[in-house]
Each structure stands twice: as C-alpha cells, then as structure tokens.
C-alpha cells in the first residue's frame, strides 16, 4: 500500500524518521489507546480526543449517538487523526537541543459510519479488549439496546504516515566542555495496581486485571 502522498511527507527529516509500512504504523496504533480526531465545521477547527482500535487497515472509534463529533463527520468530510506515544524526554546541554523520543502517526481519511450491528459489535469487542485485555468474556454481554445507543465510525489507513525519533540528544562540539548532564528521562505510561470502588472491593480481583 502506498500511504506516502504530498501531505503525508514531513518537511523535516522525512527520510530519516518517516515510515509508511504496516509494521511501523500498526505497532504504534496497537500500543496507543487514544487518538485525537480533527475536522472543520463552518471554518472552525475542532480537535477531539477519543479511544480507538485498529482492525486490519482501519481504525475504529465509537461514541454516543448524541455525540457532536460523530454527527458532524457522518457526512464523510475530511478528517485528520493523530496518535502519539511519548517514550523519553531528551535532555541536552542547551534548551534548543532538548527533544522528545516519540512514535506517532498522522492519518488523513473520511469517516465511514458503521451501519451494521455486526460491524459495531466487532468494533466494540476489539476496543474493549484493547483497553482492558481479557475483559470481554467477563463482562455482562452487550445487547441490542447497548448497540442502539452507540454510533461507530471507521477510518482507512490508506493515507497515513508514522514518524519516529529515537536516541540520545545531538551534541555540538563547542558544548562538549560544559559540565552539564545529558541523557534520556523515560516517561512511558504503565498500568498499575487497580483501585476498586465499593462494589469492586467485595469481589476478588479477576486474573485479567493483575498488572
Ligand atoms: C510528543 C511529540 C512532541 C513533539 N515536540 C516537537 C517540538 O517541540 N517541536 C517540533 O518542532 N516538533 C515536535 N514534534 C515533531 C512534530 O510532530 C513534527 O514532526 C515536526 O514539527 C516537524 O514537522 P514537519 O514540518 O516535518 O512536518 P509537516 O510538514 O508539518 O507535516 C507534513 C506531513 O508529515 C507527516 N508528519 C509530520 N509530523 C509527523 C508526526 N509527528 N507523526 C507522523 N506524521 C507526521 C504528516 O503526514 C504531515 O501531514 C513532536 C512530536 C511528538 C510526537
């Protein structure tokens, strides 16, 4: 698939950092839980954070049937979706050379509403399993009423770019003699010990929630 187009080509460090293959794009999309979807309405840009899941060469989002964003993009208008994983802060000798080690994806696509219950079910199941792995079969099964309260939309990955920065800060020779610490500060998010509510505290923690 040729995802590289004029608008998915970065002006800076395109050869070094931009990737378009499934392996890079899928691995970022499968690790990230959240995206930001942007679109314009009446000349006003909107940018809304959402959860999402990738299935094959699409990402799927869901929202209440009353959601402004789903109702607005239902007409198939152009959208831009961004996803980012920030791995490390890059600390250099000068403020200018500070940076971030990141893996990110930008997608240009038009939303396609999920018209069938089968597709909605597939999106829900995969999204739930991504957010809380192992939980789908543990939960009260989803019924038609739940399904009718929710809208779903998907976006093709046909026009998308990944961009990746890795490694230590760049050094400039004239700065070498300054005794200033340089290196990386990891900032990856972690799943931690679950905190039960009152009902949850009366039930043993299920195995799939051990982190
Ligand atoms: C957590 C984080 C922090 C960052 N902080 C900074 C910062 O402080 N300053 C800074 O200059 N840059 C920062 N970046 C990088 C920033 O996202 C851009 O890549 C950068 O500004 C250079 O853009 P450009 O002019 O080359 O691309 P543009 O010409 O603006 O974009 C052209 C196309 O390139 C692709 N593209 C550009 N950037 C990305 C990306 N990050 N991921 C996937 N595709 C991309 C898109 O398809 C886009 O449409 C950060 C990125 C992340 C993820």
Output the pLDDT for position 164: 97
Nearest protein CA to atom 37 of ligand 1, as residue: 10
Output the pLDDT for position 171: 82
Q: How much of the chain, in percent, has pLDDT values that exceed 70?
A: 100
Output the pLDDT for position 31: 98
> Which domains occur in the chain, in start order?
6-209 (2.30.110.10)
> Ligand 1: distance of its center to the CA of 164 in Å?
10
Pocket test for ligand 1, best of 7, 8, 10 (most atoms within 8 A of CB): 10
- The two tokens of residue 199 are 């009902």
Q: For residue 176, how many C-alpha atoms fall within 13 Å in the half-sphere facing its CB? A: 3
In this structure, how many other beta carbons lie within 10 angstroms of the beta carbon of residue 190?
Answer: 5
Q: Are 81 and 107 in contact (CB under 8 A)?
A: yes
Got the DSSP string for 76-111? --EEEEEEEEEEEEEE-SSGGG-EEEEEEEEEEEE-
Output the pLDDT for position 65: 87
Pocket test for ligand 1, best of 24, 31, 82, 104 (most atoms within 8 A of CB): 104
Cα 178 from Cα 157, distance rounded (Å)? 46
- Asked if residue 3 has its Cβ within 6 Å of ligand 1, the reply is no
Output the pLDDT for position 173: 87
pTM score: 0.96
Element holding 184 (H helix, E strand): strand 183-186
Which residues pair with residue 82 across a beta bridge? 36, 106
- Asked if residue 46 has its Cβ within 6 Å of ligand 1, the reply is no
- List phi, psi (to 5°) of 12: -115, 135
Note down pLDDT in tens along the chain; length 211 residues.
789 999 999 998 889 999 999 999 999 999 999 999 999 999 999 999 999 999 999 999 998 888 899 999 999 999 999 999 999 999 999 999 999 999 999 999 999 999 999 999 999 999 999 999 999 999 999 999 999 998 999 999 999 999 999 999 988 888 889 999 999 999 989 999 999 999 999 999 999 999 9
- State the distance between the two ends of the chain, measured CA to CA, in whole angstroms: 37
Q: Are 94 and 175 in contact (CB under 8 A)?
A: yes
């Amino acid at each position: 698939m040729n995802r590289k187009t004029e608008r998915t080509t970065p002006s800076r460090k395109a050869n070094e950092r931009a990737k378009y293959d499934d392996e890079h794009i899928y691995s970022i999309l499968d690790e990230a839980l959240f995206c930001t979807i942007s679109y314009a309405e009446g000349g006003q840009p909107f940018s809304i954070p959402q959860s999402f899941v990738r299935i094959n060469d699409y990402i799927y989002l869901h929202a209440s049937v009353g959601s402004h964003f789903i109702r607005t993009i239902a007409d198939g208008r152009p959208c831009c979706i961004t996803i980012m994983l920030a791995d490390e802060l890059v600390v250099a000798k000068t403020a200018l050379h500070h940076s971030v080690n990141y893996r990110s994806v930008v997608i240009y696509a038009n939303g396609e509403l999920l018209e069938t219950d089968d597709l909605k079910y597939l999106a829900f199941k995969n999204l739930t399993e991504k957010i809380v792995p192992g939980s789908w079969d543990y939960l009260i099964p989803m019924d038609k009423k739940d399904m009718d309260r929710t809208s779903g939309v998907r976006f093709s990955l046909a026009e998308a770019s990944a961009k990746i920065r890795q490694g230590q800060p760049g050094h400039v020779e004239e700065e070498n003699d300054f005794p200033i610490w340089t290196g990386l500060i990891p900032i990856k998010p972690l799943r931690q010990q679950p905190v039960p509510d009152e009902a949850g505290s009366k039930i043993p923690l299920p195995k799939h929630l051990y982190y």
